[in-house]
Amino acid sequence: MAHAGHNPVLSDLRRRVLALEQSRRAARPPLEFGLEPIDRHLPWGGLPLGTLHECLESGVESEHAAAATLFTAGILARRRGTVLWCLRGRDLFAPALAAVGLGPDRVIYVETWKDGEVLPAMEEALRHGGLAGVVGEVARLGLTASRRLQLAAESSGVPAFVVRRWRSDSERAAADEPSVAFTRWRISAAPSGATSAPGLGRARWRVELLRCRGAEAASWIVEACDAEGRLALPALLPDRPHPQESRSPGDARPLGEARPLGAGGQLRRAAAG
């Protein structure tokens, strides 16, 4: 190999391969939601790769974080490749992930019981790369921990998702701790639309973007993930909260379509924190 550097053909090839790789890295497409209002609201046109994102639920729901789990699984189901999922407990039910497109062959679970195990495992996996995404169920995510995860994610380009789960009140109090995550989402259940037949229709979520680098807080009502992990906009919004004056420019869309809601006082506090 020592003489290879003197070969003009080889060194030229090497330079071209390097250039190709760099352009590919720069042009890494974001993770799109496939929902025009959300993608347009996010500064990157979707969730950027190689960054840290947080998903949480409010109140007692955060113990199970069932919707936030599926929301995260749905995002990753739209990517290709294996997902590493750091569990906190044994209650995650794999068939539900398969039902949103994250089949059993695509997830490797790590049984980590506490934050002290989840966060190092996540960092290790993020630094290793080669994964579609890394998910960790975490109670506390401070500045230092989130910065470490963010740096690890940046180094490999793997997106990192933290699903916040709390059991105790003291953990819940830590919810507003600042972190360096690029986005923070709150998912909560919303009443589903009426169905013509008896039974249950597709579930609905209120998806709140509590904090986002370079964008306002916003919220949408969406239909839950389908078999490919895609969200959808409800056809009708009979109980849509009253539209406030839009905060982002160019937001003049016809009524009936989901629109970002102006962040309420509570949201703004979370965004400032």
Partner 1 sequence: MCRDGARRLVAAVDEAAWTLGVRPGQPVAQVQASIAGLAVVEAVPEEDAAELAGLARWCGRYGPVVQPDPPAGLLLDVEGSSHLFGGEAALMADALRRLRLAGFAAEAGLADTPGAAWALARYRPGQIVARGRTGKALAGLPVAALRLPADTVRGLQLLGIDRVEDLARLPRPDLARRFGRELLDRHDRALGRAADPLSPLVPDTVLQVRLAFPEPLTHLAGIEAALARLLPQLCRELDRRRGGLRRLDAVLRRVDGQPLGFRVGTAAPSRDAAHLGRLVAERLPGLDPGFGIDEIVLAAGRVEPLPERQIAAGDLAGPAGDGEAVALAPLVDRLAVRLGASRIFRAAPVESRIPERSVGRVAPLAPLGTGSWPTVLPRPSRLIEPPERVTAMAVVPDEPPASFTWRGVRHVVRAADGPERVRGEWWRADAEAESLRDYYRVEDTAGRRFWLFRDASMAENGQWWLHGRFA
Q: Tell me how far, at minimum, the Cβ of 118 lies from partner 1, in Å.
A: 10
Dist CA 121 CA 160 (whole Å): 12
Q: Tell me how far, at minimum, the Cβ of 218 lies from partner 1, in Å.
A: 19
Would you count residue 38 as binding partner 1 (CB under 8 A)? no
Would you count residue 18 as binding partner 1 (CB under 8 A)? no
Binding to partner 1 (CB under 8 A) within 40-69 occurs at 60-61, 64-67, 69
Q: Tell me how far, at minimum, the Cβ of 249 lies from partner 1, in Å.
A: 32
Taken in order 80, 110, 173, 160, the sign of the CA dihedral is: negative
Would you count residue 250 as binding partner 1 (CB under 8 A)? no
Cβ-contact 112, 88 below 8 angstroms: yes
Chain Cα centroid distance, residue 49: 10
**What's 232's DSSP letter?**
B
State which residue, 55 or 212, has the beta carbon closest to partner 1. 55
Cβ-contact 88, 65 below 8 angstroms: no
Build a one-symbol-per-residue string for 151-190: x at contacts with partner 1 by CB under 8 A, - elsewhere: -----xxx----------------------------xxxx
Beta bridge partners of residue 232, listed in sequence order = 223
State which residue, 86 or 263, has the beta carbon closest to partner 1. 86
Beta bridge partners of residue 137, listed in sequence order = 163
Dist CA 232 CA 224 (whole Å): 7
3-class secondary structure per residue, 149-170? HHHHHHHHCCCEEEEECCCCHH
Would you count residue 240 as binding partner 1 (CB under 8 A)? no
Q: Which residues are at the interface with partner 1 (CB under 8 A)?
A: 60-61, 64-67, 69-71, 73, 79-82, 84, 90-99, 103-112, 117, 120-121, 124-125, 128-132, 156-158, 187-192, 195, 199-201, 203-205, 224-225, 227
